[in-house]
Amino acid sequence: MSFDYDLFVIGGGSGGVRAGRLAAEAGARVALAEEYRMGGTCVIRGCVPKKLMVFASGYASAMREAQAYGWDVRMGRFDWPSFRKRLHAELDRLEGIYRTNLGRAGAEIFEQRAVLTGPNSVQLADGRTFTARYILVATGGQPYVPEVPGKELVWTSNEVFLMEELPKRALIVGGGYIACEFSCIFNCFGVETTQYYRGAQILRGFDDESRGHVAELIKGRGIDLHVGTDIERLERRDGGIWVKATDGREATFDAVIYATGRKPNTEGLGLEKAGVELGRWKEIVVDEYSRTNVPSIYAVGDVTNRVNLTPVAIREGAAFVETVFKDNPTKVERDLVPSAVFTQPEYGSIGMTEEEARDERPIEVYCAAFRPMQNSFIDKDERVLFKLIVCTETRRILGCHIIAPNAGELIQMVAVAIRMGATKEDFDRTIAVHPTMSEEIVLMKTPTRTA
């Protein structure tokens, strides 16, 4: 059978673009359809704009510390409109790079929605239909907002980057990394920030001790954090948003931002018509090679709800091309994926939590929480945390958790050693870089506890 394309990609995010570009460079006839903007969630309404907001918001505490160190610094007002203009110019630039690199490789780009009409066919929004030997679905995820009276009044992470001005009072709903990051960002911008989370502690799924440490730090920075609390209803009142919480608390905010998780973006894609199996959360079910139950249809990235991180989606896109177009079956290793929560300070982690590890094997836990030199000099009470989880039998490092400024940068370096199978004795043999706060990771000699 003759096809219009060897590969048709639905979704122009990091995973889809990487797969489309590499396949085109390998000589395949490739088309890609994206209905919104090239770059997907990460570039346009996720990681990149969020991290730029983290950078901008971090200067508030930096200026206060500069004053304590002796600098004649005057704290002014943060100019959101000026930052917003520069932010969107940068996103436009990055989107252009994605489009240029994909086109340069020889792929054809359709800037409109595409849906599946069969195992080897797609239809564009303008009615045109195409056939392809393989179809790759890489449509990512979208914010999830639970049903609550007044939900039409709330923002999600999608709208935050588009706001015209900063609110004076903001409520962040959720306890995951996105919610915690936005709480810190708004707080540092000078917004009166409250955070509600219905669970017992923020950052579910991360190490328990580290979760508690982050919670205390962000409360210490002025965020009004309430756990075991959810929203009962919202109403527009007196120019603000009145909120009734499940614990009876009532308050009015200028903005309510929901960060209560994300769901796979599979609705209305024609997957059922093509015979593609979906899971409990409407994610596309795939095997270890990202292949669905339909041999010609694959899926990568958040739409599969495996490890929902941009670098993983990129790796999955590359592995798909190796498998399908280069006759080199390739799996993506997901057992040791480093991650960072860009709170202030940051939380970087890789490997197992203490709770996971102790349920599987005997472990030693090495942990140190202390004031680094930069803080102690100016009597700033904020403490960093370094934690290693070690298998008692093999001596391998099973997990590492760091809460400190630039923890995301630190955990990337540690991840290489842990991926290579480093032991506690390998860390012990490494000479410290002094004076640094990170030297603590090779200086912890006595276990804090065993389990």
Residue 175 near residue 199 (C-beta atoms within 8 A): yes
Residues in a beta bridge with 121: 118, 131
Please name which of 29, 37, 31 lies closest in space to residue 12, comparing C-alpha atoms. 37
Residue 386 near residue 399 (C-beta atoms within 8 A): no
Give whole-number Cα distances, 21 to 9, 108, 318, in Å: 10, 10, 9
Residue 169 near residue 192 (C-beta atoms within 8 A): yes
Residue 235 has phi, psi (to 5 degrees) of -145, 150
* C-alpha span between 109 and 32 (Å, rounded): 5
Residue 319 near residue 299 (C-beta atoms within 8 A): no
- 88, 213, 401, 434: the catalytic one is 434
- Residue 282's region, left for phi above 0, alpha for psi from -120 to 50, else beta, is left
Residues in a beta bridge with 33: 10, 110
* C-alpha span between 250 and 376 (Å, rounded): 39
Residue 321 has phi, psi (to 5 degrees) of -65, -40
Q: Token digits for 361?
A: 């094997």
Q: Which residue do the tokens 């409990």 mark? A: 280
Question: Which DSSP letter does residue 343 get?
Answer: S
Peptide linkage before 435 cis (omega within 30 of 0):
yes
Rounded to 10 deg, the angle between the 208-220 and 177-188 helix axes is 20
User: How many residues can be counted in the chain?
Assistant: 451
Q: Token digits for 44?
A: 């346009």
In the three-class reduction of DSSP (H, G, I as helix; E, B as strand; rest coil), residue 258 is classed as strand
Is position 401 annotated as part of the catalytic site? no
∠ Cα 98 104 110 (to 5°): 65
Residue 178 near residue 259 (C-beta atoms within 8 A): yes
Residue 161 near residue 87 (C-beta atoms within 8 A): yes
* C-alpha span between 99 and 38 (Å, rounded): 7
Active-site residue list: 434
